[in-house]
Amino acid sequence: MSAVLDHSGRDPYESRVASTPEIVGRVDPVVYARAGDKGPLTREQLRQYESQGFLEIDNLFDAGEIETLLAELDRLRRARDGLDREIDPETLILEPHSRELRSIFAIHAQSALFARLASDERLAGIARYLLGDEVYIHQSRLNYKPGFFGKEFYWHSDFETWHIEDGMPRMRALSISIALTRNTSYNGPLMLIPGSHKRYVRCVGETPDDHYKQSLRKQEYGVPDPGSLQQLYADGGIATATGPAGKIVVFDCNTMHGSNSNISPLPRSNVFLVYNSVSNRLVTPFGKKAPRPEFVATRKTFAPIAPVSGRIA
């Protein structure tokens, strides 16, 4: 499978090749569900996702389920100190200027509990409905963002990286973030630019070899320029996803998002699951570099999700 070409034979999502940035229109649908299809979202939720590029959902999981997931997050944190032999050390990402744990990747492949979460009908059902297809996990991770030391995630469109560095052909993927701690205005919550998913920012700067080794700690290539961000902000503003533990944010693969550093005492941890359509499996990266490792982008271990119902315990 390859990306749809425009009338000139150009990849419409080309990026990191020109000396100046450019904002172009999206050529793919946002919602792939067919008219009349029954699904887990209301008509208003569907409208909001299509127009804003994200959707916030409360009370999808009960307090006991969130406590179970939080306990697993704390258990996996010990992997940083070599106390959990189940975790591949390569999947442990530290903060750029400290030994604090920033993220653990491929958690759906390393934790039975988070594998169960990724397969939960309440999440996978939303993904299948919005993407109009069976789905699989393209990427998963735990983000820790500890109090006082958690650094920012700079503004970016996930799809730009997934297209250029992983070979994701089309905008037929989405992310679901599940808060495991309270998200406030001061502990580095997720920020999104409403409506930004309908435009694509072609970034500048040639991608270095093995870019992932640096970008997972601090991304410097594939990030939008200030002028493009200013334009997106002028049109859509910024929305901040705050709320209690258990809050769900579903957002399109091309929604511009990021988060501030956390200099408060309150940690901000979340589970991050990326669902991709099985019809949108990865091909050769469009940036003409070697594919990123499997723990960052599922390629060899591709498997459609068989949704599971019931409470997580």
Over residues 16-72, the pLDDT tens digits come to 999 999 999 999 999 999 877 889 999 999 999 999 999 999 999 999 999 999 999
pLDDT tens digits for 102-117? 889 999 999 999 999 9
Q: Above 80 in pLDDT, residue 292?
A: yes
Separation CA 46–CA 91 (nearest Å):
34
Q: Which residues of 7-44 are buried (b: 16+ CB within 10 A; e: fewer)?
A: eeeebbbbbbbeeebeeeebebebbbbeeeeeebbeee
Q: Above 50 in pLDDT, residue 2?
A: no
The position carrying tokens 């919005």 is: 130
User: Looking at this protein, which amino acid is placed at residue 194?
Assistant: P
Q: How much is the pTM?
A: 0.93
Q: Are 156 and 258 in contact (CB under 8 A)?
A: yes
- DSSP bridge pairs for 144: none
Q: Are 46 and 188 in contact (CB under 8 A)?
A: no
Q: If you compute the radius of gyration of the chain from its CA atoms, what whole number of angstroms results?
A: 18
How much is the mean pLDDT over the chain?
A: 90
For 86, counting Cβ atoms within 10 Å of its Cβ (0-12 exposed, 13-18 middle, 19+ buried), the class is exposed
Separation CA 73–CA 65 (nearest Å):
13
Closest CA to 55 of 144, 109, 129: 129
Per-residue pLDDT at 84: 54
Q: Residue 7 — pLDDT band, cuts 50, 70, 90?
A: low
Q: Are 91 and 85 in contact (CB under 8 A)?
A: no
Pick the CATH number of 22-81+92-280 from 3.20.20.80, 2.60.120.620, 3.40.50.2300, 1.10.290.10: 2.60.120.620
Domain ranges of the chain: 22-81+92-280
Separation CA 19–CA 161 (nearest Å):
18
